[in-house]
Amino acid sequence: MESNARVAHIFAALMQGQTIDAETLTTEYSISLRTLQRDLADIRAALADACAQPPVLQEGPPRHWCLMTDNRQDSIALAVSHIVTGSRAFDQGELAEALAYIEQPLSPTSRAALHADLRLARHGFSPLTGAKPLLGLLQTVNTAIDQRLKLTFSYHSSRSNLKQTSEIHHAQPVAVFFERFYFYVAMFADEHHGYWLYRLDRIDEILDETKGEKLDYATRFSLQDHWRQTYFIDFGEPTVIHFEYEGFVTTALDAFPTSKVVATNADGSVVIEAYARIEGALLWLLGQGPRVKVLDPPLLVKRIKTMLTAMQAKYQ
């Protein structure tokens, strides 16, 4: 197919809202990746000449492209800005940096509208207690993952007195993720003889970097399993639990991503089965108050009874 006809076909697919990918197009048209990139450059130039605010040829997953209109860009920028503001993970300075980065591709008119739409969220932003800059540390940890480095660092554990000196840890990071208000780093830690989750904001200082090890893939930390087992805290042994729930059922199902309703009671409550790490599940279940009744395992039922009795005694 002639170059002009090929570019026209690709452009038509984009205008119809399709997402194109390099593997499909290079095979279909028997062209190289470099030729496809030249075709895409021609399409970008044509879009730029078409109007003052043309759609943007946006690159997504590796070697995938689609057209993004101004309205679509504006909506995504607004959504991501609210997520960043609501996370509370950043201090005021890095929040401003993040929002400025998000608005970069927008037109001046769209930027002004975004500022207006975020006015309440920015005004109400409340960083975490003791919030500190994290972006540099985040990059350092990601580099350590990419280069398979082991870190020596000072760390303030939640179990230690904050007035005491930070503990020294030796661990090899394997994954960074964000959950609720915090960035976490999963590391293979000497001090814990296996994988452990560290809060990024509690790492005080990176003291040393050394060559790490090739960790066994079969036993490697799985972020997917972590999110399936508990949305909240990754402590305790994974356990199947059953509990009655009188609240809005999706609240419980969202808290335990692999949970399911296994029965519905005459009073409208449901019995939910969940597979979760017991300590994280325990905190959530206690937080639901009288809306929850744990049915099994018996050991968990006993623990909850003991804790509730101790709590009640404090108010007598």
d(CA 54, CA 68): 9
CATH number of 135-220: 2.30.30
pLDDT at 109: 81
Q: Is 281 left (phi over 0), alpha (psi -120 to 50) or beta?
A: alpha
Token output for 213: 């090890």
Nearest Cα neighbor of 239 from 249, 227, 230, 252 is 230
CA distance 298 to 241: 10
pTM over 0.85: no
What fold characterizes domain 3-68? Arc Repressor Mutant, subunit A (1.10.10)
Angle at 263 between CA 260 and CA 268, to 5 degrees: 110
| Contact assessment for residue 186 and residue 234, using Cβ atoms and an 8 Å cutoff | no
Element of type H or E holding 301: helix 298-313
Cα dihedral 113, 117, 123, 126 sign: negative
| Cβ pair 199, 157 in contact under 8 A | no
Q: Is the CB of residue 243 less than 8 Å from the CB of residue 292?
A: yes
Helix, coil or strand: residue 275:
strand
Work out the angle at residue 210's Cα, subtended by the Cα atoms of residues 205 and 213, and round it to the nearest 5 degrees. 120
* 79-to-74, 102, 135, 184 alpha-carbon distances in Å: 9, 10, 21, 23
Task: Provide DSSP, 46-107.
Answer: HHHHH-SSPPEEEE-STTEEEEE-HHHHHHHHHHHHHHHHHH--S-HHHHHHHHHHHTTTS-
Helix H segments across 103-222? 108-117, 119-123, 135-146
Written as tens digits, the pLDDT of the chain (316 aa) is: 678 889 888 888 887 778 889 999 999 999 999 999 898 888 888 877 765 556 677 777 788 888 776 677 888 899 999 999 998 889 999 999 999 999 987 878 888 999 999 999 999 888 887 788 999 999 999 999 999 999 999 998 765 544 456 889 999 999 999 987 889 999 999 999 999 999 999 999 999 999 998 888 777 888 777 766 655 455 567 889 999 999 889 888 888 877 899 999 999 999 999 988 888 788 889 989 999 999 999 999 999 999 999 999 999 8
Please report the pLDDT score of residue 248 as a whole number: 86
Domain ranges of the chain: 3-68, 70-123, 135-220, 225-313
- Strand pairing of 203-211 and 56-59? unpaired
